[in-house]
Amino acid sequence: MSFPDAFSLKGKVALVTGASYGIGFALASALAEAGARIAFNDVNPEFLAKGLEAYKAAGIDATGYVCDVTDEPGVQKLVADIEADVGPIDILVNNAGIIKRIPMHEMEAKDFRQVIDIDLTAPFIVAKAVIPGMMKRGSGKIINICSMMSELGRETVAAYAAAKGGLKMLTRNIASEYGAFNIQCNGIGPGYIETPQTAPLREPGHPFNSFILAKTPANRWGKTDDLKGPAVFLASSASDFVNGHILYVDGGILAYIGKQP
């Protein structure tokens, strides 16, 4: 396929999880701009309704569903409903995620398990639900939203780092297991992006803000828009021979030791 058609998502159906706002909304909007029809879910009906309004305001025809990504029967129903309402899912973006910032020695196992459940087990559950259809059709794209914490540790985020490190390996394993079916599974590893998830770290005067700027060669926080091009690339046939790769979109954080004092 010639350039730029290789980047077109015309006729494709994409499911983006947890996409009422934040990174998920930006990724879904990018896939829609490239031609895909969008289905998304949210666990919270109020946020879902707001998300539907936001897509409408952006001129995007998105279909929304209330679904908790950790609920396997619920996810199986979600996928069946999308197939019936919108069409078979060609592109899955596992975006839904949470973080709990608690020193590890004070963290309760139930909190650790909840983060693993949403950030790692759920991408397995949703991928498992879409893979059989992709195998039957002989093509599919799965994009797992990883993190700097797929590579790096830091204080208070033990559960999140364990989950996102695991998600990197789940990505490589899906690529390994289903590459022969023309299914590509890759990850996007965003750096520090301005979303509600990072809002507590960006409060005026919070020392984390200057810490992140000093760690980022680009000397700024990322915007959700920074993730749009990488998402379209990994969802499109332009990346048909890219499999099991984590594309870090981090302004250079992973290349840098940090600003010299």
Q: Does 123 bind ligand NAP (CB under 6 A)?
A: no
Of 13-21, 56-64, 177-185, 238-246, which segment contacts ligand NAP by CB under 6 A? 13-21
Distance in Å, CB of 27 to ligand GCO, minimum: 15
The option from ligand GCO, ligand NAP, none interacting with 44 (CB < 5 to 8 A, set by class) reads ligand NAP
Question: 21 an active-site residue?
Answer: no
Assigned token pair, 108: 């309760």
- Cα 234 to Cα 76, 105, 158, 221, 230: the distances in Å are 24, 38, 28, 23, 6
Which of 204, 178, 210, 180 has the alpha carbon at shortest distance from 192? 210
| Contact status: 197 vs ligand GCO (CB under 6 A) | yes
Q: Tell me the three state secondary structure of residue 143.
A: strand
Of 13, 23, 142, 235, the one binding ligand NAP (CB under 6 A) is 23
Q: According to CB under 6 A, which one of 24, 165, 166, 191 is a site residue for ligand GCO?
A: 191
Task: Kindly list the distances between the CA atom of residue 163 and the CA atoms of 45, 89, 198, 202, in Å, as whole numbers in the listed order.
Answer: 26, 25, 17, 23
Element at 185 (helix H, strand E): strand 183-190
Q: What is the x/- site pattern for ligand GCO, positions 138-177, by CB under 6 A? A: ---------xxx----x--x--x-----------------
Residue 99 interacts with ligand GCO (CB under 6 A): yes or no: yes
Integer-rounded Cα radius of gyration of the chain = 18
Q: Which residue has the tokens 């159906």?
A: 13
Catalytic residues: 160
> Which residues in this chain contact ligand NAP in the complex, by CB under 6 A?
17-18, 20-24, 41-44, 47, 68-70, 95-98, 118, 145, 147, 190, 192-193, 195-198
